[in-house]
Amino acid sequence: MTNSEVRPSVAVLQGVVLVAGALFFLVPISTPLGLLAAVSGIAGACWVTWKHGARIRSGRGAVVGLGAVLLGWLVERLFTSVAWPWSPEASLVLADALSLGLIAGGVVFTVRVLAKKARALAAVEFALVVGAVAHAFAAHRHERIHQPRVLADFAWTNGVDPQTLLAALGVVVVVMAALLLLRVRSASRAVAALLIVVLLGLLALQLGGGRPVKKLEDDELGLSKDDGDEKADAKDGEGKGSEGGGGKGDGSNKDGKGEGKGDGNGGGSGPPQPVAVVLLQDELPDTPVLYFRQAVRSKQVGDSLVQDTSGQLDPDVPVTVPAGGTLTLPSPQSPDLHKPFDTTMFLLVDHAQLPALGHPDQLTMLENPDPRRFVAAYSVRSNLLVRPPERLFGREANGAGFDEARRAAYLALPDDPRYRELSDRIVRDVDPRFVGDDVMKAFAIKQFLEKEGFYSLAQKQLVGETPTANFLFGEMKGYCVHFAHAATFLFRSQGIPARVALGYAVQTNRRGAGSSVLIYGNDAHAWPEVYLEGVGWVTFDIYPERSDEPPRPPMEQELEVVYGELARKDATGGRGAPLKPLELPWGPIALGLVASTLVAAYAIKLGRRLARSSPAKVYRAVLDHLSDAGQARHFGESRERHAQRLSSLAPSFAPLTDAHLRLALKGPDTAAAQTVEQLARATVAELRAALPLRQRLVAALNPIGWWFTR
């Protein structure tokens, strides 16, 4: 029966508002197929509630709706946690589509049915739509109005204060939701009311803010346009990212001479490009800088250091990309002083060697969650020093733990006596109490370089035959590579095994509150590492006190968040030790739930079939038979009418109904009770005869037919 209260046009309008709310909510988190399913689910729910609203009882309708939500959730669990014969991708897509369709449809069905029940409950619907849209802008809380950027960019380019645009959007959303709440009877009136409120809102903005409102009439269109822009932006960014990556990749290649590697691109052209996303799987230790090491240079050739290509010298640094599976590295780091720390890396730019936090001892390649965006994904188990180097005094650093060849390599120096002379001079000045302490010597050298050195990117490259010497014994003006090489040679001249590490140094104060870190191209860095006996390799970075570089521009934290979210879409992206205990066997749980529900349903079905204690129960058993075959009585239909409807299917059902009603409405009667028994048997027999085998089978298997018996 059509609900005469709501006209089709209004129903369509309300459906559109609901779909719009859902799209706002789902577009950032769903696949296109999922979106389609959600929209179909909502449309279906709207249609059913509009078309058959009068026949749906609110209580039962709500149960059905919530059941669909639960089913959607179960389906998703089932598809994602049980191995199916088809491909995992198909499973994911199917799960997304099915669950979103069911959940969206169920939620909308529930709220629509409830809204029909009582006007007050329409507020739930209202809240749902407002909440869905508000969620899309939730990032704007704490007055961070520049998020999402697409909207802000759009506003700025059109000369509108984003706050104005957001306020206008808020007005539109509230009006859309109010449209649902008011349940107006005429679509044209609804549209008129909508326009009036929008105009009033604009007027209020004009009067209140006094801001220029330009092109604000486009705000609704602007939404969809922005969506397109966003995608275009993303693609652009990707393109730029790969270009930048190409450049960087050259710098960090094995065959590179090291000259190209520097402290980022300075204040050069354009903003820095992100090169990798790091998901932290644990609480970050309290450290100002995170070092992501990519390569080390420990082999002395002339006046500079190059990477050892023999693979003998630095076995703790991953040289090759593990082709699937896990790469375990021999770690020289002491387990007592190091703490394992898990990260998941998503490279945005191709790297010849994989950067990894701290001192990695295990690398596992992961499936790339989004090959369009990421070059590679892998998880890393790193060792982080739990104690600052200042508290490592007294440790020896003489390379006694290495074999002779490695020790010699780590202590190799250019043939230039000035290194030794300089380092001797430096270590002479240390506190007499620490004379002979290797760590103290290292600190003295570090302090010397920091004090005397001048950080400058103007010094383009290590030039000449002896670039390090030129730097160290000249103006001491250079950047990280110079400092790292100089420090390494100074350490070595004092008998301390040292090497230069290349990679990225990310300042933690730049990071947002999230658990993701974005590495930019200009985070590229080089730093010296020294080897302490009983500790392992320790980072001894040099921070020159003087610099002609302007401070780094603040990085965009939202980009970090966005990339973090993208990376997290991968199911394995959340893989990490701390999360493991939370993983429940959802597949078995879902199967168990379904199975126990089925068993309970069949038990009830059987119980009701066998109950013969009163003629009413006998009659109810017949009704269950009919319900199983899809012939239940409609809501509000009288028993006689129901019986009449089924008279051709089971001719005995009408007299049975009469006998039953006589017993129920006239009073007990033994003869009538017997009649009921006989007619009940006859009806069931007729029903069996009338139904084709297939339908009979379905009826016998139907677990919830009794639920529809009225």
Partner 1 sequence: MTPPDSEPLVTPLSPTDVRTAPAIAAVAPAPAGPASLDDVRRLAQTLRERMRDQVMGRDDIIELVLVALFADGHVLLEDYPGSGKTTLAKSLGHSIVDDLHHDEIADFRRIQFTPDLLPSDVTGVMIFDTATNGFSFRRGPVFAYVVLVDEINRTSPKVQSALLEAMAEKQVTVDNTTHRLDDLFFVLATQNPLDSVGTYPLPMAQLDRFLFKLSMKHIDRASELEVLRTWGTPRTPRELPKVTRGHVVASRGLIRSQVAVDERVQECLVDIARLLRADKRVRQGVSTRCLVQAIPALQTLAVLRGRDYVSSADLESLAPVLFAHRLDCAPGVQVDALITETLRAPIERLSRQTIGGA
Q: How many C-beta atoms surround the C-beta of residue 10 within 10 A?
A: 20
- Residue 445 and residue 491 in contact, taking contact as beta carbons nearer than 8 Å: yes
Is the alpha carbon torsion for 145, 147, 150, 151 positive or negative?
negative
> Of 330, 432, 667, 692, which one interacts with partner 1 (CB under 8 A)?
667
Shorter beta-carbon distance to partner 1: residue 269 or 613 = 613
Q: How many residues does the chain have?
A: 710
Alpha-carbon distance 343 to 96, whole Å?
A: 27
> Of 141, 257, 612, 710, which one interacts with partner 1 (CB under 8 A)?
710
- Residue 307 and residue 299 in contact, taking contact as beta carbons nearer than 8 Å: yes
Examine residue 617 and tell whether it contacts partner 1 (CB under 8 A). yes
Shorter beta-carbon distance to partner 1: residue 664 or 697 = 664
Shorter beta-carbon distance to partner 1: residue 186 or 508 = 186
- DSSP 8-state code for residue 352: S
Give, in order, the Cα–Cα distances in Å from 190 to each of 14, 48, 187, 315: 10, 22, 5, 72
Segment contacting partner 1 (CB under 8 A): 337-345, 426-434, 581-589, 661-669? 661-669
Alpha-carbon distance 372 to 662, whole Å?
A: 73
Residue with tokens 């209140």: 208
Tell me how far, at minimum, the Cβ of 710 lies from partner 1, in Å: 6
Tell me how far, at minimum, the Cβ of 1 lies from partner 1, in Å: 9
Tell me how far, at minimum, the Cβ of 60 lies from partner 1, in Å: 12
Task: Tell me if residue 670 falls in helix, strand or coil.
Answer: helix
Segment contacting partner 1 (CB under 8 A): 174-182, 271-279, 280-288, 618-626? 618-626
Alpha-carbon distance 679 to 662, whole Å?
A: 14
Tell me how far, at minimum, the Cβ of 102 lies from partner 1, in Å: 29
Shorter beta-carbon distance to partner 1: residue 6 or 498 = 6
Examine residue 583 and tell whether it contacts partner 1 (CB under 8 A). no
Q: DSSP string spanning 242-296?
A: HHHHHHHHHHHSTTS-SSS--STTTT-SSPPPEEEEEEE-SPPPS-SEEEEEEEE
> Of 662, 681, 688, 696, which one interacts with partner 1 (CB under 8 A)?
662
Shorter beta-carbon distance to partner 1: residue 405 or 664 = 664
Tell me how far, at minimum, the Cβ of 107 lies from partner 1, in Å: 26
Q: How many C-beta atoms surround the C-beta of residue 412 within 10 A?
A: 14
- Residue 358 and residue 291 in contact, taking contact as beta carbons nearer than 8 Å: yes
**Residues 6+ positions from 495 with CB-CB distance below 8 Å:** 397, 398, 399, 411, 438
User: CA 246: distance to chain centroid?
Assistant: 27
Shorter beta-carbon distance to partner 1: residue 425 or 634 = 634
Structure tokens at 328: 């375990």
Q: How many C-beta atoms surround the C-beta of residue 395 within 10 A?
A: 18
Per-position x/- string for 116-155, each x denoting binding to partner 1 as judged by CB under 8 A, each - no binding: ----------------------------------------
Tell me how far, at minimum, the Cβ of 664 lies from partner 1, in Å: 4
Residue with tokens 């970090």: 560
> Does residue 464 come out as left (phi exceeding 0), alpha (psi in the -120 to 50 range) or beta?
left
Residues 619-648 binding partner 1 (CB under 8 A) are 619-620, 623, 633, 635-641
Tell me how far, at minimum, the Cβ of 637 lies from partner 1, in Å: 8
Q: Give the pairing type, strands 546-547 and 454-455.
A: parallel
* E strand or H helix that includes residue 386: none
Residues 668-687 binding partner 1 (CB under 8 A) are none
Q: Give the pairing type, strands 304-306 and 359-366.
A: unpaired
Select from 404, 428, 441 the least CA-distant residue to 530.
Answer: 441
Tell me how far, at minimum, the Cβ of 709 lies from partner 1, in Å: 8
Give, in order, the Cα–Cα distances in Å from 638 to each of 620, 642, 662: 15, 6, 14
Q: How many CA atoms lie within 13 A of 1 on its CB side?
A: 11
The residue count for binding partner 1 (CB under 8 A) is: 25
Alpha-carbon distance 314 to 681, whole Å?
A: 87
Tell me how far, at minimum, the Cβ of 661 lies from partner 1, in Å: 5
- DSSP 8-state code for residue 143: G
Shorter beta-carbon distance to partner 1: residue 638 or 647 = 638
Per-position x/- string for 4-33, each x denoting binding to partner 1 as judged by CB under 8 A, each - no binding: x-----------------------------
- Residue 17 and residue 176 in contact, taking contact as beta carbons nearer than 8 Å: yes
Shorter beta-carbon distance to partner 1: residue 4 or 269 = 4
Segment contacting partner 1 (CB under 8 A): 65-73, 110-118, 298-306, 609-617? 609-617
- DSSP 8-state code for residue 375: S
Tell me how far, at minimum, the Cβ of 182 lies from partner 1, in Å: 17
Cβ burial 285-302 (10 Å sphere, 16+ → b, else e): eeeebbbbbbbbbbbbee
User: CA 25: distance to chain centroid?
Assistant: 15
Shorter beta-carbon distance to partner 1: residue 370 or 640 = 640
Tell me how far, at minimum, the Cβ of 4 lies from partner 1, in Å: 7
Examine residue 661 and tell whether it contacts partner 1 (CB under 8 A). yes
Shorter beta-carbon distance to partner 1: residue 418 or 645 = 645
- Give me the amino acid identity at 354: L
Shorter beta-carbon distance to partner 1: residue 181 or 616 = 616
Select from 479, 238, 267 the least CA-distant residue to 370.
Answer: 238
Shorter beta-carbon distance to partner 1: residue 6 or 476 = 6
Tell me how far, at minimum, the Cβ of 57 lies from partner 1, in Å: 9
Shorter beta-carbon distance to partner 1: residue 393 or 635 = 635
Shorter beta-carbon distance to partner 1: residue 526 or 643 = 643
Shorter beta-carbon distance to partner 1: residue 59 or 578 = 59
> Of 120, 323, 665, 693, which one interacts with partner 1 (CB under 8 A)?
665
Residues 30-69 binding partner 1 (CB under 8 A) are 54
Segment contacting partner 1 (CB under 8 A): 9-17, 325-333, 417-425, 613-621? 613-621
Segment contacting partner 1 (CB under 8 A): 110-118, 263-271, 571-579, 659-667? 659-667
Tell me how far, at minimum, the Cβ of 93 lies from partner 1, in Å: 43
> Of 37, 660, 691, 706, which one interacts with partner 1 (CB under 8 A)?
660
Select from 618, 625, 634 the least CA-distant residue to 689.
Answer: 625
Tell me how far, at minimum, the Cβ of 204 lies from partner 1, in Å: 35
Task: Tell me if residue 118 falls in helix, strand or coil.
Answer: coil
Segment contacting partner 1 (CB under 8 A): 80-88, 298-306, 554-562, 657-665? 657-665
Shorter beta-carbon distance to partner 1: residue 185 or 339 = 185
Maximum pairwise Cα distance, the chain: 123
Alpha-carbon distance 590 to 71, whole Å?
A: 10
Structure tokens at 319: 């040289």
Shorter beta-carbon distance to partner 1: residue 418 or 681 = 681
> Of 259, 658, 677, 686, which one interacts with partner 1 (CB under 8 A)?
658
> Of 142, 428, 580, 666, which one interacts with partner 1 (CB under 8 A)?
666
Shorter beta-carbon distance to partner 1: residue 83 or 671 = 671
**Residues at the interface with partner 1 (CB under 8 A):** 4, 54, 614, 616-617, 619-620, 623, 633, 635-641, 658, 660-662, 664-667, 710
